Chains A and B, each alone.
Chain A
Amino acid sequence: MRDLVWLIRHTLKRTFSNKRNILLYFGTPLIGIIISLLVYGGSTAKDLHVGMVNHDPHYITNDTIRFIKSIEHISVTNVKESEIDDKITSGKLDCVVIFHSGFSQSVQEGRPSHIQIVSIRGTEITGFIKSYLYHYIDNIAALGQIAKGDEHTFLEMYKRYQQAPFNMSVHSLQDTSKHKYMTYQTIGYLLMIMLLSAGNLAEIIIKEKENRTYFRLLSTPINAKQYVLSNVIVNMIVMTGQIIITLIMMDTVFHIKTNIPFWQMTTILMLFALVAIGVALMTVAFASSSASSGAMQNLLTVPTCMLAGCFWPVDIMPAFAQKMADFLPQRWALDTLLKLQQGHHFGSLYLNILILFAFALAFFLIAVYKFGRNHSVGNFL
């Protein structure tokens, strides 16, 4: 036991006496957070891009457009009707407001019409615009009703209304779905980093075989099982660090709400850490040199992470790819977290947890079997 601790301390010290490794193991998980901030726009709400088509040049229409421009987080551009489809489908515009000729007339008469909102993003966008726009138009229309068609009265009231200080408080909606996406993105990236780190750390076994120190170690009271165990523990320590650092940074620095209790999140990720160690030991057991294990790990990790949906939701992938993803542990870890976010009870996810366990167990067993058959000590002595 004392010897085991001595060996673990030695491996940790050797690994982290190289400052680059500190950055490699504990800096890279944060890249995931930064990517998710870039993709999902960070903590400030994203601007809405609204296009305007004005077929009704009149002061009421112009003022309405000016009003929309004054709303926070909305940027307005004038477009031609012919460009609408193109700009909306390409995502350059979130929606387009079309003022058909007769709009100002209808407002003045108290029955607003001849206005149209085009969007493919559905109610979450149009609803936001509509709520402001219709509120404003309704107010003007109310003036029209009061004026009962008297142009002069309407104009008087309209001027006063326009001059009244506009008291409008804008609430950015707390967008929980955005936090969910960001959590998913960050954790997906963390899973990949964990797999790569586990691979790197397990590779120490091969490197120590290559520099022969492994064989000297085995001639000391340390045996092969303790030696591999020490590597597993080092691996576990490093990955626990990665998990804790990522979760704490997400919460305290970047204010990303995972919507999952800390201990549940940690449990699932630690379980995945075991899977990652299993995969790493398996590659090491099969690899003939540190170069080939490195290549094997890269070849395995990045594509499976893509397939398992570590970088984007699996639903956007073709059906056969989704089926294949079911054979990947990353998929199950992410699926568990998604379900926890959706409010599933931790206990009800025993099947997911069992499957993750099974993955870890299977990889460990394959590694142990293969290690047991690697009798060759080469020309140690």
Chain B
Amino acid sequence: MNILEIKNVTKKFGDFIAVDNMSLTVAEGEIFGFLGANGAGKSTTINMISGLLRPNAGEIKILGKDIGKHSHFAKRNIGIVPQDIAIYEDLTAYENVKFFAGLYGLRGSQLHERVEEALQFVGLSDKQKSYPKNFSGGMKRRLNIACAIAHRPKLIIMDEPTVGIDPQSRNYILASVKKLNEMGCTIIYTSHYMEEVEEICTRIAIIDHGKIIAEGTKEQLEAIITNTKDVWIGVKSMDNMDINKLKAISGVKAVQCEENMVKISSDIGVNNLNRIIQCLMNDGVEIRSLEEKSPNLETVFLTLTGRNLRD
């Protein structure tokens, strides 16, 4: 069964289209990765799923029910881990989780058990009586997660849960995501860290300018561009290099420059290496090295969006 269905959803802020006729489905049991550069529209999409923003058009269903008509049902089945930490600094870790879990109708001993469970899950059991103002960034992030899972939602949406924290906390969080998934939760995971998404996600959507431009497993996404080959050319200096001339060469799909390396992605069937080298030499660019590389998710992203995930 599909836990989430997004159909032709559009969100505008004034004239600006943040999410553009997006359609997407997430099946139960997946860890679904959401990849997109800054401002791609990830958070806007998540805000609409969680009911904070109303789409201008389209429909969103949770477990087959429209979230507009069954908002209570939808909200009970979702847990949101927001990008910006949303906790009370003047309440203890325990009180924070207890308050939010209580809003889902939990009371008494059941509430107490769920709160302890959630805190234990994120490794904050021994800090439950402490106030978040004394927490490290990683501990706050973990409490932020605990507040979203104590009511045992079927779908957990995490928006960059590992941003700006120490590697230890990050590993802890990644392990927790896998564990939650094994326990039966479906997870939507947003990150700027390609490695994280590659490591844990079962399916990935690449979103750019409010549109999903590719979707599938890591292998499927890489397959999209296996008809692309990358050539890395080391040069002495790029001063005389004309990127547009390179792009004009038949078969070339993308050109990326980094320090003294030029990366050129071209269609696999076209043999254009000679012309590329000729073009560079005509411009007086001195070639130092030349290497072909197989694609990875980063390449996929770059090929499809023409920009880097992180600015």
Contact of B86 among A14, A18, A216, A375 (CB under 8 A): A216
B47–A216 touching, CB < 8 Å: no
**Chain A contact residue count (CB 8 A cutoff):** 25
With an 8 A cutoff between CB atoms, is B172 at the interface?
Answer: no
Knowing A10-B99, A213-B88, A379-B83, say if A219 contacts B75 (CB, 8 Å).
yes
Q: How far is B75's CA from A218's CA once the two chains are assembled, in angstroms?
A: 9
Most A-side CB within 10 Å, residue of B53, B72, B102: B102
A376 to B290, CA, bound (A): 50
Contact B51 A380 (CB under 8 A): no
CB pair A211 B51 closer than 8 Å: no
Indicate whether A311 reaches chain B with its CB closer than 8 angstroms: no
Q: Does B256 contact A (CB under 8 A)?
A: no
**In the bound complex, CA of A217 to CA of B51 (Å):** 11
What is the total number of residues of chain B having a CB less than 8 Å from a CB of chain A? Answer: 34
Q: Is the CB of B53 within 8 A of A377?
A: yes
Residue pair B84, A212 in contact (C-beta under 8 Å): yes
A7 located at the interface, meaning its Cβ lies under 8 Å from any Cβ of chain B in the complex: yes
Is B103's CB within 8 Å of the partner chain A? yes
Question: What chain B residues lie within 8 Å of A125 (beta carbons)?
Answer: none
Given A220-B75, A379-B84, A6:B91 Cβ within 8 A: no
Question: Is A3's CB within 8 Å of the partner chain B?
Answer: yes
**Is the Cβ of B102 less than 8 Å from the Cβ of A216?**
no
Residue from the list A3, A6, A18, A218 in contact with B51, Cβ < 8 A: A218
Q: A216-B100, A220-B100 are in contact. Are A375 and B88 (CB under 8 A)?
A: no
Q: Mark A200-228, 1 if CB is under 8 A from B, else 0.
A: 00000000000111011111111100000
Contact of A212 with B85 in the complex, beta carbons under 8 Å: yes
| Beta-carbon contacts under 8 Å, A1-35 to B | 2-3, 6-7, 10, 14, 17-18
Q: How distant is the Cα of A333 from the Cα of B105 in the complex, in angstroms?
A: 41
Q: With the chains together, A49 CA to B71 CA distance in Å? A: 75
Complex interface: chain A residues within 8 A of B51 (CB): 218-219
B46 at the interface (CB under 8 A from A): yes
Q: How far is B95's CA from A213's CA once the two chains are assembled, in angstroms? A: 14
Query: What does the 1/0 interface line of A293-333 toward B look like (CB < 8 Å)?
Result: 00000000000000000000000000000000000000000
Measured CB to CB, the closest approach of chain B to A381, in angstroms, equals 4
Determine the distance from Cα of A2 to Cα of B148 in the docked complex, in whole angstroms.
Answer: 20
Do A217 and B52 form a contact, CB below 8 Å, given A211-B86, A377-B47, A380-B83?
A: no
Q: A216-B147, A379-B83 are in contact. Are A221 and B47 (CB under 8 A)?
A: no
Complex Cα distance, B50 from A212, in Å, reads 15
Interface pair A215/B89, CB less than 8 Å apart? no
Closest to B144 in A: A216
B104 in contact with A219 (CB, 8 Å): no
Q: How far is the CB of B178 from the nearest CB of chain A, in Å?
A: 22
* Chain B contacts to A: CB under 8 angstroms: 42-43, 46-47, 50-53, 71-72, 75-76, 78, 80, 82-91, 99-100, 102-105, 147-148, 157, 159
Binding site for B on A (CB under 8 A): 2-3, 6-7, 10, 14, 17-18, 211-213, 215-223, 375, 377, 379-381
List 16 A–B pairs whose Cβ atoms lie within 8 Å, in order of A's numbering. Answer: A10-B99, A14-B91, A211-B88, A212-B86, A218-B52, A219-B75, A220-B103, A222-B103, A377-B47, A377-B52, A379-B83, A379-B84, A380-B52, A381-B47, A381-B50, A381-B84
